[in-house]
Amino acid sequence: MTETTPMTEKTPSAAPLLEIRGLSATYGQVRVLKPTNLSLFEGELVTVLGPNGAGKTTLVRAIMRLVKAQGEVRFKGEDVGRLATHDLAKRGIVLVLEGRGLFGSMTVQENINLGAYTATRVELQERRARIFELFPRLKERLHQQSASLSGGEQQMLAIGRALMADPKLLLLDEPSLGLAPRVAAEILRALGQLNKAGLGILLVEQKAPLALKLARRAYVLTLGRVVKELEAGEIGSHHDIAQYYFS
């Protein structure tokens, strides 16, 4: 029997979109990410902050099963901890890697098309149109090799390609890395727009001020451990995040 009670029908978003419990990761013998708990509710933009080497990239790689990890990862209440990366993407979790992971010799159009999983032609057209609305510069450079794009355009392309999978949750690893402040702000503004339209976003950033402008909640990671969790409301008034970067 698969009867659902009216109660569960009315509260489908009660479970977090993403919930990780005791997630840890090791490289060789070294446990780089200590058991970590984190949750992200539907439509939330949550940021993970921390200094170099804190374990931020390892955390998102552990969620995507790109490193050896132990612990629980739940997506919409369902245990997805054993799924391969591409199966996670099919469910709706997509990672935009630090360094972007584009195919440099391919054109903008080819890279965008690579992001799509099963979808109808009409759906793909709609997704492309939304991406070009968000990043008009990609449309102007459709046939250009992606290696010849500027850093900011490459980041736009990496995000655009991820959007082709129609994710419910986007994980981003330092999308502002190496970009001029104006371009970094442009990228983060686009993420804010996507989030306003309902997309869940887990944003790993070193640049705390930029990320905190957008985020509803923040986790601060140092030495592979969450040392601080800030809730909505606390964020705007919190000025001592820097202490975690230098302690």
Q: Which residue ranges make up the site for ligand ATP (CB under 6 A)?
A: 27, 32, 50, 52-58, 98, 206
Q: Is 57 in the site for Mg ion (CB under 5 A)?
A: yes
Q: Nearest approach, Cβ of 126 to Mg ion (angstroms)?
A: 33
| 195, interface contact from ligand ATP, Mg ion, none, CB < 5-8 Å by kind | none
Residue (166 or 173) nearer to ligand ATP, CB = 173
Question: Which residue, judged by CB position, is nearest to Mg ion in the bound state?
Answer: 57
Cα 40 to Cα 16: distance, rounded to the nearest angstrom: 6
Piece in contact with Mg ion (CB under 5 A), picked from 56-64, 76-84, 125-133, 217-225: 56-64
Q: Nearest approach, Cβ of 12 to Mg ion (angstroms)?
A: 33
Cα 63 to Cα 60: distance, rounded to the nearest angstrom: 5
Q: Nearest approach, Cβ of 246 to ligand ATP (angstroms)?
A: 14
Segments in 64-147 forming alpha helices (H): 85-91, 108-114, 121-134, 136-140
Residue (94 or 134) nearer to Mg ion, CB = 94
E-strand spans in the chain?
Answer: 18-27, 30-40, 45-49, 69-75, 78-79, 93-96, 169-173, 200-205, 217-222, 225-230
Strand partners, 75: 18, 78
Q: Is 36 in the site for Mg ion (CB under 5 A)?
A: no
Residue (20 or 164) nearer to ligand ATP, CB = 20
Q: Is 222 in the site for Mg ion (CB under 5 A)?
A: no
Piece in contact with Mg ion (CB under 5 A), picked from 41-49, 54-62, 126-134, 213-221: 54-62
Residue (44 or 98) nearer to ligand ATP, CB = 98
CA distances from 65 to 25, 57, 82 (A): 10, 12, 8
Residue (56 or 207) nearer to Mg ion, CB = 56
158 phi and psi, to 5 degrees? -60, -40
Q: Which residues contact 206 (CB under 8 A, 6 or more apart)?
A: 49, 50, 51, 52, 56, 174, 177
Which positions touch Mg ion (CB under 5 A)? 56-57
